[in-house]
């Protein structure tokens, strides 16, 4: 075989390998089972949006019911070694130590982690969990809080300074990108109107190793804080990438282009550090939703 032929064979081989690598799907584990929100309705939506991209394989691990006996919890042993990223749709009873340790080991070792909406309510007493998500739904006496002022400057508040976590009545609101260069946010409109949803404010926690990707103005007229509150952020924890989005209270505010796009792109980024899923043309399609620009 001549050199040219050998080179052609090598190039074709490399191309096929490249195609195989590109075709490899990311394994996602969604954890649900307890919540103050309707996880039975939102988990299928989350699973469907991930599968529709063609980028993921998705499994679901459902915990025992609230206040289940110890014997049921002993059977809850998620095999984190079989996934690349965990998506949390859970806010309920504490897990057994074995499950806690398994998730912490997975994330510390570089496994991806995604928090969806009220998953930030969970496990206030679990220190490592709070470090993983950066901040969550906690009282004013829990820890620090961060928000942005009208100039876009980061404002830090100490424990017991300013409000604890909450939200006013659900309403449509404007979301603004704060880090245009982050892989998840590249190609996303600089600002858009999100559908009627809960606008979380006063998140509290260690607030370490965080990067705020998008915010929404929490107007005092809607019982807010008068500050630009983080809606989407990331955390560097050990070798892992953690992605948090608090958009999407229910099916109607989750199964919309902006919420879905950020979640699937954030999940891909948490797993791989890259984003290949495109921003759809309908990203900003929120019929009937209007928010006053701030």
pLDDT digits (tens, 9 = 90+) for 213-237: 999 999 999 999 999 999 999 999 9
* Average of per-residue pLDDT values in the chain: 90
Q: Is the pLDDT of residue 10 over 70?
A: no
pLDDT attached to residue 23: 54
Span 28-34, mean pLDDT? Answer: 97
Using alpha carbons, select from 223, 224, 231, 26 the residue that is nearest to residue 115: 231
Q: Is the pLDDT of residue 247 over 70?
A: yes
Residues 216, 174 contacting (CB under 8 angstroms): yes
Residues 75, 61 contacting (CB under 8 angstroms): no
pLDDT attached to residue 286: 53
Q: CA 230, CA 57: separation in Å to the nearest integer?
A: 29
pTM of the model: 0.89
Residue 22 pLDDT class (50, 70, 90 cuts) = low
Looking at the chain, the whole-number percentage of residues with pLDDT higher than 70 is 89
Span 204-217, mean pLDDT? Answer: 98
pLDDT attached to residue 20: 35
The tokens for 112 are: 């991806």
pLDDT in tens, 145-192: 999 999 999 999 999 999 999 999 999 999 999 999 999 999 999 999
Q: Is the pLDDT of residue 8 over 50?
A: no
Using alpha carbons, select from 241, 248, 164 the residue that is nearest to residue 210: 241
Residue 284 pLDDT class (50, 70, 90 cuts) = confident
Query: Could you tell me the domains of the chain?
Result: 27-284 (3.40.50.880)
Q: Is the pLDDT of residue 208 over 60?
A: yes
Using alpha carbons, select from 146, 115, 83, 110 the residue that is nearest to residue 237: 110
The residues that bridge with 229 in the sheet, in sequence order, are 216
Residue 6 pLDDT class (50, 70, 90 cuts) = very low
pLDDT in tens, 68-77: 999 999 999 9
Span 23-29, mean pLDDT? Answer: 90
Residue 5 pLDDT class (50, 70, 90 cuts) = very low
Q: Is the pLDDT of residue 287 over 90?
A: no
pLDDT attached to residue 12: 32
Among 2-16, 50-64, 193-207, 246-260, the least confident range: 2-16
Q: Is the pLDDT of residue 251 over 60?
A: yes
CB neighbours of residue 184 within 10 Å: 27
Span 100-123, mean pLDDT? Answer: 97
Q: CA 267, CA 85: separation in Å to the nearest integer?
A: 7
Span 23-32, mean pLDDT? Answer: 93
Distance of CA 82 to the CA centre of its chain: 20
CB neighbours of residue 130 within 10 Å: 23
pLDDT attached to residue 30: 98
Q: Phi then psi for 10, rounded to 5 degrees?
A: -65, -45
């Amino acid at each position: 075989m001549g050199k040219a032929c050998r080179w052609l064979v090598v190039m074709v081989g490399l191309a096929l390998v490249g195609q195989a690598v590109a075709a490899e799907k990311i394994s996602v584990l969604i954890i649900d089972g307890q919540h103050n929100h309707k996880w039975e309705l939102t988990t299928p939506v989350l699973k469907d949006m991930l599968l529709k991209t063609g980028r993921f394989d998705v499994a679901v691990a459902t915990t025992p019911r609230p206040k289940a006996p110890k014997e049921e919890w002993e059977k809850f042993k998620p095999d984190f070694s079989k996934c690349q990223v965990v998506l949390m749709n859970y806010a309920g009873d504490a897990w057994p130590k074995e499950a806690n340790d398994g998730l912490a080991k997975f994330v510390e070792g570089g496994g991806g982690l995604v928090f969806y909406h009220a998953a930030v309510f969970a496990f206030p007493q679990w220190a490592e969990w709070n470090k993983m998500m950066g901040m969550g739904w906690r009282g004013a006496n829990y820890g620090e809080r961060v928000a942005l002022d009208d100039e876009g400057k980061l404002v830090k508040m100490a424990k017991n300074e300013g409000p604890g976590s909450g939200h006013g009545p659900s309403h449509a609101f404007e979301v603004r990108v704060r880090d245009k260069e982050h892989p998840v946010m590249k190609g996303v409109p600089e600002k858009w109107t999100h559908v009627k949803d809960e606008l979380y404010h006063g998140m509290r926690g260690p607030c370490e190793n965080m990067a705020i990707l998008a915010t929404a103005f929490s107007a005092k007229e809607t019982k807010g804080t008068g500050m630009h509150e983080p809606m989407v952020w990331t955390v560097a924890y050990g070798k892992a990438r953690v992605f948090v989005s608090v958009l999407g209270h229910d099916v109607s505010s989750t199964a919309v282009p902006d919420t879905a796009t950020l979640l699937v792109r954030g999940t891909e980024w948490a797993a791989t550090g890259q984003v290949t899923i495109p921003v759809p043309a309908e990203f900003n399609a929120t019929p009937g939703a209007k928010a006053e620009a701030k």
